[in-house]
Structure 1
Amino acid sequence: MTINKFSERTGLSPSTLRFYDQKKLLEPMKRLENGYRIYSSDQVEKALIIHSLRLADIKVEDIYQFLHAGEGEKQQLISAWRQEVEAKLSSLNIAKQYLNGLNYSEQHMHLIKWSSPTTFVWFRHVVPRAINPFQSVMKADMEKVKQLGINVRPGIFIRTLDAKGASMVGEVGFILNEEISSDSLKSHSNIYIDRLEPTLYATMNFNVCDQFMCFHFIKLVHRFGFNTKGIKLEKFESPNAQTFSYMIPLLIKRKSLLG
């Protein structure tokens, strides 16, 4: 078949077929002396598979790898593509939920995504129940980080673990700039290393004196259609900061493409 006949048979335009030829995805069965491309009926199925993968947003180089792969590798590539599509669908769902809930006249909730695992050094404390209860230990923990020679990023994180009577149990944390051995902290009973997995957070800034921020913020997060999971974080720029960023980890629902 000439390229025009093959185009009619497959429904693919001649320009598309020329592109696939240039990328060595679908080379003609042969070329005539005048340069005309000649295709065989056996190439129809291959042409349709290639075009279907392109419409599924698969990269040209990945399709080339797929066409030259063995059966096992092909299945691995298909599984990887499914995971990529699920991630894209998850991102689109997040965007839809956020835009549906966004009201420009209100105080804005923001989304922050930590795309890779984040390693913290944490200091555990029991402190009196009060407004901004961990402020009293932040500065001492910062000094301890310097004394131990631990390289951390700017910012102080708080996570409250429990509240009983007049006391609160929580942790002051710092993100590590470089990995350190847990063995180096064995002599310190209230210090440990912990890794947080990639997480999407809803965040909003509050004054430390706002005692009702948690209730109102969680209510807002639910209005956006998000479910929450895990321990909430508070991020301070310094021990004496009067405002902080409240960070609520979100649960992302992902439906399997197979079910």
Structure 2
Amino acid sequence: MTIGQFSERTGLRPKILRYYEEVGLIVPCLRSANGYRKYSESQVETALLIHSLRQADVSMSGIREFLTATPGRRDELLAEWRSLAEIKLLSVKIANQFLQGFDSRTKRMHLVHWDCSRTVAWFSVKEIGWGASLPREVWRMCKEKFSPSMIAERAGYVRFAEAGEEAGTLQPEIGFVLENENQAPKDGRLEIVPPTLFATMSCSWDLPASCKPILSTIARFQFETVGEPLRKIAFRDERNYTLMVPVLIQGKHSGRSENNDSRSEHFRAAWHLRNGRGR
């Protein structure tokens, strides 16, 4: 078939076919003496497959690997692409929920995206200060554990993770994002945090309830928490911090499930523990 006939057979414009040839995805089976492209019947299905995968937002390199992969590797690639597609759908859903629930007259909640995995070194502490003393405590620990080049941000994170088997027991932890996981102190516990979307709100140490609106705001936006909330504490800022609530984690899908009630209770427990209740 000529490129015109092949275009009619596949429904793909000649311009698209030439582009797929240029990037090495589908090459005419032969060239005639005068340079015309010739395609075979067996290439129809390949062309349609390539175009279908492109419409599904699969990368050129991914398609190229898929075309030459073994059946087992093809199954692996399909599983990866399905997972990515689901994440994209959830991201669009969350964006829609954010825009639908956004109210410029109320205290602002923002979306913050960690678009790549981050390595965090966590350190358990028996007791933790609160208010303006906490940034100083986080800064002191950072200087004790790290040199400036070892951390990726001039900030630390505080969270209250479940401790042991006793229900309702929360263990305070201070964490730092590392530049290189191989430089982590021996007494730190490393965690690889996958790409994550957070609902965030700026809070004040002077007003313990300043972040309380985020609870009702998350409900109004119909978000579901999918992990422990973090408090981001910028070094030397003794007035403010940022509450970060994960609402989408790559590999951990949001949406209502039997575990959401327990996650919500955990979130509220961590909230009350450090905002005037349960102490």
Into which bin does the TM-score normalised by the smaller protein fall? 0.7 to 0.9
Q: Deviations over 1:19-46 (max 9, x none)?
A: 2222332222322222222222222222
Per-residue deviation at 1:245? 1.5
**Cα 1:154–1:73 shift into 2, 3 Å:** same
> Which residues of structure 2 form unaligned runs of 5+?
163-169, 256-279
Task: Write the deviation string for residues 131-167 of structure 1: whole angstroms up to 9, x where unpaired.
Answer: x8354465356435434556554224333579xxxxx
Tell me which residue corresponds to 1:197: 193
Measured after TM superposition, the shift of residue 203 of structure 1 is 1.2
Q: 1:80 offset after TM fit, Å?
A: 2.0
Does the 8 Å CA contact 1:122/1:194 hold for their aligned counterparts? no
Aligned length: 238
Between the aligned partners of 1:238 and 1:94, the Cα distance in structure 2 is 31
- Could you tell me the TM-score, scaled by structure 1's length? 0.76
8 Å Cα contact 1:201/1:250 also seen in 2: yes
Q: Following superposition of structure 1 onto structure 2, how do residues 51-66 of structure 1 map, counting pairs within 5 Å?
A: 51-66=51-66
Q: CA deviation at 1:69?
A: 2.0
Q: What SS class does the counterpart of residue 91 from structure 2 fall into?
A: helix
Aligned to 1:171: 172
CA distances 1:185-209 after superposition (whole Å, capped 9, x unpaired): 4xxxxxx535363343211112223
Q: Call closer, same or farther: CA 1:110–1:5 in 2, change over 3 Å.
A: same
Note the C-alpha offset of 1:125: 3.8
The equivalent residue for 1:109 is 109
Question: After superposition, where does 1:1-259 map in structure 2 within 5 Å?
Answer: 1-114=1-114, 115-126=116-127, 133=130, 135-136=132-133, 139-140=136-137, 142-148=139-145, 152=151, 153-159=153-159, 171=172, 173-177=174-178, 178=180, 179-182=183-186, 185=187, 192-193=188-189, 195=191, 197-198=193-194, 199-238=196-235, 241-250=238-247, 253=253
| Between structures 1 and 2, the one with greater strand share | 1
Question: In 2 relative to 1, CA 55–136 (structure 1 residues): closer, same or farther, beyond 3 Å?
Answer: closer
Q: For 1:241, what is the secondary structure of its paired residue? A: coil
**Identity level (%):** 33
Distance 1:144 1:218, change over 3 A: closer
CA contact (8 A) 2:7 2:13 kept: yes
Distance 1:36 1:207, change over 3 A: same
Gaps (5+ residues) in structure 1?
163-168, 186-191
Q: TM-score, length-normalised on structure 2?
A: 0.71
Distance 1:34 1:221 in 2: 66
**Cα 1:77–1:194, aligned 2, differ >3 Å: closer, same or farther?**
closer
